[in-house]
Structure 1
Amino acid sequence: MMRTSNHLIGLLNFVTFLLSIPILGGGIWLSSRANNTDCLKFLQWPLIVIGAAIMVVSLAGFAGACYRNTFLMWVYLFVMFFVIAALIGFIIFAYAVTDKGSGRSLTNKGYKDYYLQDYSGWLKDRVADNGYWRKIASCVRDSKACQKIGRSVNGVPETADMFYSRKLNSIQSGCCKPPTECGYSYVNETVWTTGAGFSGTSTDCTLWSNDQQQLCYSCNSCRAGLLASIRKSWRKVSVVNIVVLIILVIFYVIGCAAFRNNRRIDNDEPYGEARMTKSHPSAFQL
């Protein structure tokens, strides 16, 4: 009976180790996004730490099950409880800071426009801070997202109608072109003129520049586009984390039951041996 419980605990810990891989992978993916486009480089570290902690703790639990080390098993269950609690906290935090905000659909446009006032919460306040935004804007500029926006057909630059039908991502729409409400006239993907159609009253309309080092990197639309990109990234990772969390909780409950069963058997063994010695003394005596 105890051997079966140990095998079960060992199997659960091995599967838990495997479940730490997608969590760690999600953190690494967010890290790559932070280095390329999302540019908030501190957000992925809690997930990386949680994934690494689950990996290390599950290995300790696996060793404890294999070698019937009660102390290691106790440490595994104790630490895993707090790791699961941390994962729950991270998921709640991820949804809380990305619970509101999305792009606004436009008539006869394939892309959306993004407005900072559509977002709220701690993350919005973070990017709204001018001192902090300067660092993020520099990262977005260095990612060359706007340089990659250009297209041509048979060597001929795309027309305005072709551009308007494109599905730009939130960074490209918010940072690489002026807001549609400003009424700028299209020249190419990152060059626009005021023309006769200029009618915008938003501060973003005056912040737009055809200087390829400026564009709309100082605009609120760029900040909103960044928030939309982060929201999309976090929601993808959170779906995986929720599935892993449910499995971890189930395995943790099973592991606790198996551990208690081992402890009960360990406590009962001396009494069982005493009864067997009394009934069949020759079995325990030379």
Structure 2
Amino acid sequence: MRLSNSLIGLINFLTFLLSIPILGGGIWLSSKANSTDCLRFLQWPIIVIGAAIMVVSLAGFAGACYRNTFLMWLYLFVMFFVIATLIGFVVFAYVVTDKGSGRAVPNRVYLDYYLEDYKGWLEERVKSDSYWGKISSCIRDSKVCGKMGRTYGGAPESADLFYVRRLNSIESGCCKPPSECGFVYVNETTWNPGGGLMGNLMDCTRWSNDQEQLCYSCDSCKAGVLASLKKSWRKVSIINIVVLIILVIVYVIGLAAFRNNKRMDNDEPYGMGRMTKAQPSVIQF
């Protein structure tokens, strides 16, 4: 067996092993899907990704190790679309996350987030009622706001200490009212109106000290989610670029293995010059 076949077989065996925990995690989420909308929202992409990796890996492994030309052709065909999809996703991710960022707040370390700063396909998807119901359920189930509480010497965190905290976009957008509203700090997730509203934001009336409501219906929460998605998608895009480079190298090795299989199927000795074989015998010496 040629070196290229051996490499393809080894690589696909490793990716097949990797697909098992991915697929298992998706199935586990599916078994828990009746408990929260958050898990229902996440289960199917994981199952599809795990199953796709498993099938492609099996095809590549069998095609290389058992010298099956059809399976190798199928493997290369699918790999081509995987590479094309990754390229498309990287470009798409950078395009849809091009706009939007947090705004600095006077005398605060954390940023505030405004939905109008985010425009495009991703913003439309996140703010739509069908998607936002699932996303807000995820945030509520994660208890991210409940985990913000801090104490110092047995006393709750003061306003001055809270104002110098570096909150992530979800904590800032969903767990507190926008700074523009002029609410008075009581604790991390309890704020009372003080001195009237300083802004005209609808979020000022949407805020609730009910720990099950907070600002989950606010535009600032949606903007915080968009900021979090932008950060995550940019990180994923970097990983995808690295994976893309690896897949291109594997694809080239796979092409070499495919040519080896065809050469063996045709009983061609390895290294035979194609130009020699293609020339009419009358001019061979």
Instruction: Note if 1:176 corresponds to 2:163.
Output: no
Partner of 2:113: 114
Using the TM superposition, give the Cα deviation of residue 97 of structure 1 relative to its aligned residue in structure 2, in angstroms. 3.0
> AA paired with 2:258?
F
- Which range moves more in the overlay, 54-63 or 147-156? 54-63
Q: How far has the Cα of 1:53 moved from its partner? A: 2.0
Q: Are the structure 2 counterparts of residues 60 and 129 from structure 1 closer, same or farther at C-alpha, using a change threshold of 3 Å?
A: closer
Are the counterparts in 2 of residues 94 and 234 from structure 1 also a CA contact under 8 Å? Answer: yes
Match of 1:202? Answer: 201
The count of residues paired between Structure 1 and Structure 2 equals 263
Q: Distance in 1 between matches of 2:131 and 2:164?
A: 34
Percent of pairs with identical residues: 68
Partner in structure 2 of residue 260 of structure 1: 259
Is the contact made by 1:10 and 1:66 (CA closer than 8 Å) also made in structure 2? Answer: yes
Give the distance between the partners of 2:245 and 2:170, measured in 1 at CA: 33
* Structure 2 equivalent of residue 10 of structure 1: 6
Q: Match of 2:65?
A: 66
Task: Assess, with a 3 A threshold, how the Cα gap between structure 1 residues 189 and 11 changes in structure 2: closer, same or farther.
Answer: same
Q: Secondary structure at the match of 1:134?
A: helix
Aligned residue in 2 for 1:283: none
Which one-letter code corresponds to 1:224 in the other structure?
A
Of the structure 1 ranges 9-18 and 73-82, higher mean CA displacement relative to structure 2 is found in 9-18
Distance in structure 1 (CA, Å) of the matches to 2:38 and 2:117: 20
Aligned in 2, Cα 1:269/1:175: closer, same or farther, shift over 3 Å? closer
Q: Structure 1 202/100 Cα, relative in aligned 2: closer, same or farther at 3 Å?
A: same
* Alignment partner, residue 211 of structure 1: 210
Q: Deviations over 1:233-269 (max 9, x none)?
A: 2222222121111110122023213422442454353
Amino acid at match of 2:163: Y
C-alpha distance 109-17 of structure 1, shift in aligned 2 (>3 A): farther
CA distance in 2, matches of 1:53, 1:262: 24
Amino acid at match of 1:14: L
Alignment partner of 1:167 is 2:166: yes
User: Which 10-residue stretch deviates more, 182-191 or 230-239?
Assistant: 230-239
CA displacement at 1:175 relative to structure 2: 0.8
DSSP-derived class of the 2:266 partner: helix
Distance 1:17 1:81, change over 3 A: farther
In the alignment, structure 1 residue 226 sits paired with structure 2 residue 222: no
Q: Cα deviations across residues 260-280 of structure 1 (Å, max 9, x unaligned)?
A: 24424543539x9xxxxxxxx
Q: CA RMSD in A?
A: 3.4
Provide the residue aligned with 1:250 in structure 2: 249
Deviation for aligned residue 1:72: 1.9
Gapped regions of structure 1 (runs ≥ 5): 273-286
Contact 1:54–1:83, Cα closer than 8 Å, also in 2:
no
3-state DSSP of counterpart to 2:268: helix
1:180-206: CA deviation from partner (whole Å, max 9, x where unpaired): 111111111111122226311111112
